[in-house]
Amino acid sequence: MPEVRLVGPNGEQVGIVPIAKALEIARESDLDLVEVAPTARPPVARLMDYGKFKYESAMKAREARKNQAHTVIKEIKLRPKIDPHDYETKKGHVVRFLKAGDKVKVTIMFRGREQSRPELGYRLLQRLADDVEELGFVESRPKQDGRNMIMVIGPHKKKTARGQEAETTA
């Protein structure tokens, strides 16, 4: 006759009982008989309110999702022959994004003959990375992708502005 190791609703060991007896105990106590470890010898079954268990695990999963950090990637596009004032404006945007805790994808678009001078774009990206190094770090080095050169800058792991706002409202 098949038997199971029965665990009570509060985690206490009931012992090894026949399945029919375990089902009878579950019916009497108005609980469900749930197989916990099917590969054990004998298999382990537990008395529990399965609906309540499913609800609680769904709530835990929902809470975990709520507390997850959402990574946002913002994109800034530049040209190799950018005016100093325009560069400062774009750098200001990058600084704002990094302070908000977002990653920044910096793209330099090359046109025509500019494609034969990728070192101009590389120097511009290095300059930008040096200018914002106290706020972020280079996550992926500058790399040529067709007529674009791309670099990703991520914020440092200290508290971001969004994290501080959430903390003050909680």
Q: What is the pLDDT of residues 86-118, one digit of tens each?
A: 999 999 999 999 998 889 999 999 998 888 888
The model's pLDDT over 45-74, given as tens digits with 9 standing for 90+, comes to: 999 999 999 999 999 999 888 887 777 889
Q: What is the mean pLDDT of the chain?
A: 87
Quickly state the pLDDT bin for 160 (edges 50, 70, 90): very low
pLDDT over 70 (residue 163): no
The DSSP secondary-structure symbol of 133 reads T
* Confidence category of residue 158, pLDDT binned at 50, 70, 90: low
The alpha carbon of residue 76 and the mean position of all alpha carbons in its chain are separated, in whole angstroms, by: 23
Strand segments (E) across 38-135: 44-48, 73-78, 103-109
Instruction: Note if the pTM is more than 0.85.
Output: no
Q: Which residues contact 148 (CB under 8 A, 6 or more apart)?
A: 107, 108, 109, 110
Domain with CATH 3.30.110.10 in the chain: 73-158
The amino acid occupying position 65 is: R
Judge: domain 73-158, CATH 3.30.9.10: no
What is residue 49's predicted lDDT score, i.e. its pLDDT?
Answer: 92
Strand partners, 17: 4
Per-residue pLDDT, 66: 83
- Superfamily of chain region 3-65: Translation initiation factor 3 (IF-3), N-terminal domain (3.10.20.80)
- Are the beta carbons of 166 and 150 closer than 8 angstroms? no
